[in-house]
Structure 1
Amino acid sequence: MGPLTGFAMNPVRDFGPKMFAGLAGWGEIAFTGGRDIPYFLVPLFGPIVGAILGAFAYRKFIGRHLPCDTCVVEEKDSTATTQQNASL
């Protein structure tokens, strides 16, 4: 995707040259690329939004079908304390 469209997946690799071009006199077109939406926002916020959506989808569709390890540990602890209290 990168060589064909000029899209940079690394935000620093994308933003650094745009900032230099903006300071060198290109102005605001260095950041927007001549479009209405600033193009540099995509590699900055895309991975963050994708991670949030991925975590939500994992918890919603996969996580609830997995066994709960913390519940088992709590049951073992409570049974152990009950047995200790009964022996006293």
Structure 2
Amino acid sequence: MPQYALPGANQPHKTHPTGPSLKPRHGRWYIPVVAAIGLGFAGYNYYQEARSRREFAMAEEEKRLARNQQLMDAYGNKDSIHDVQHALDTYRAR
């Protein structure tokens, strides 16, 4: 069957327009939007974790200072024999 017998066979091939596409392309924004959301989520998690670490460190520092103060109260002043005896009694109690 010759080519000219088919309907539409005599029409030349249509080429795509060289300008911008007529349909919207949302796919090109997908990766940057997902990356921005991921970076925001990671930043928020890092901030929360850093704040938690800072609060934990402050609580530990308060415990350490309280313990040091207890030790200074027990062993710190050794001007008299009574203070030395009190320190030895405290040491033996532990």
The answer to which structure has the higher helix fraction is: 1
* TM, length-normalised to structure 1: 0.35
* TM, length-normalised to structure 2: 0.33
Query: Which structure: larger Rg?
Result: 2
Higher-RCO chain (CA-CA 8 Å, sequence separation at least 6): 1
